[in-house]
Structure 1
Amino acid sequence: MLSHRFQSAFIAAALLVGGAFSASAVQAQQRDVAKEEANRQLVVNFYDRFFNKHEMEAADVIVESYKQHNPYVPDGKAPFVNFFKDTFQKNPQSRAKVVRSAADGDLVYLHVHSQRSPEQRGAAVVDIFRVQDGKIVEHWDVVQPVPEKSANGNTMF
């Protein structure tokens, strides 16, 4: 027979776990999957037009008050465009292949193979965009160079 203290702890743990599952189920029911998909498509289309085709007007989906978390790129739409306009002029063959994408709420996640030129190994990039009212308002990224040799047989993509 279980001690009273153990029974109380067991019941409390069961209630917490059950509550977590219930909260997850409610949260999943509240997701607007159609809106998330629209946000994902908005970002993927922007990314292709801007980073592959180098179409500066693709940045029309970015708000003027765009908040940037990459420490090398300034805040604001115009500074963002100018930064990459210069980069694209110096690297006209630069490309960024979106390998996978996902959306959750107002966030869109991209896993990207970015290269300044076809002969470079490039970098694995995870970009996170926040979308509000059909516009890109904020961005985070993590960039990892693709090494010449890997400690395993897996690719970064």
Structure 2
Amino acid sequence: MNTNNEQIVTHAYQRIFGDLDISAVDDYMSKDFVQHNPTIADGPAGVKQLVQMLISQGVDKQKVEFKHVIANGDIVILHTRYEMVGNEWRFIDIYRVEDDELVEHWDAMMQMPDTRANNNPMF
């Protein structure tokens, strides 16, 4: 496990998505950041636009709840709980770290459904 990469990614994620701190994008992301989420533009500018959109939609600053953090070499996987405008979400984010910067990102997300087919927790 690469504890340093784990710390870099969790600190970046909290500052960017928990604290909604747009300046943290420049602090943690490579200028050549590769985004694999097809709804977000490549580079730091795409993440800044996303954070600005979250703020404009009334998303509150929050302490990100990290359920699982798995680091393997240059890859860090996060399983998090997040609230957006009254809706609870689960995210799985995968980051690649190079030279102490986030250089690449993949994700999957799921909103908590109104009705459930089972009583197992999502988190």
TM (norm. structure 2) is: 0.89
Is the Cα contact below 8 Å between 2:19 and 2:61 reproduced in 1? no
Point out where structure 1 has 5 or more consecutive residues left out of the alignment. 1-32
Aligned counterparts of 1:147 and 1:90: Cα–Cα separation in 2: 20
Structure 1 counterpart SS, 2:113: coil
- Deviation for aligned residue 1:91: 2.1
- Residue of structure 1 equivalent to 2:18: 52
**Counterpart secondary structure, 2:41:** coil
Note closer, same or farther for the CA distance 1:154–1:84 as it changes in structure 2 (3 Å cut): same
Question: Does the Cα contact within 8 Å between 1:94 and 1:115 map onto a contact in 2?
Answer: no
* Residue 86 (str. 1) matches residue 40 (str. 2): no
Residue 123 of structure 1 pairs with residue 89 of structure 2? yes
Q: Which runs of 4+ in 1 moved over 4 A?
A: none
1:17 paired residue number? none
Greater shift, 88-97 or 48-57, is seen at 88-97
Counterpart check, 1:37 vs 2:3: yes
Greater RCO, CA 8 A, separation 6+: 2
Tell me by how many angstroms 1:155 deviates. 0.8
The worse-fitting range, judged by mean Cα deviation, of 82-91 and 72-81 is 82-91
Q: TM-score, normalised by structure 1?
A: 0.71
Match of 1:74 in 2: 41
C-alpha separation between the residues in 1 aligned to 2:56 and 2:99? Answer: 31
User: 1:92 Cα shift?
Assistant: 3.4
- The CA deviation at 1:94 is 5.7
Which of residues 47, 53, 69 in structure 2 aligns to 1:101? Answer: 69
Aligned-residue Cα RMSD (Å) equals: 1.5
Whether 2:105 is the aligned partner of 1:146: answer no
Q: Deviations over 1:47-90 (max 9, x none)?
A: 11111111112111101110001011000112221232232222
What stretches of structure 2 of length at least 5 have no aligned partner?
A: none
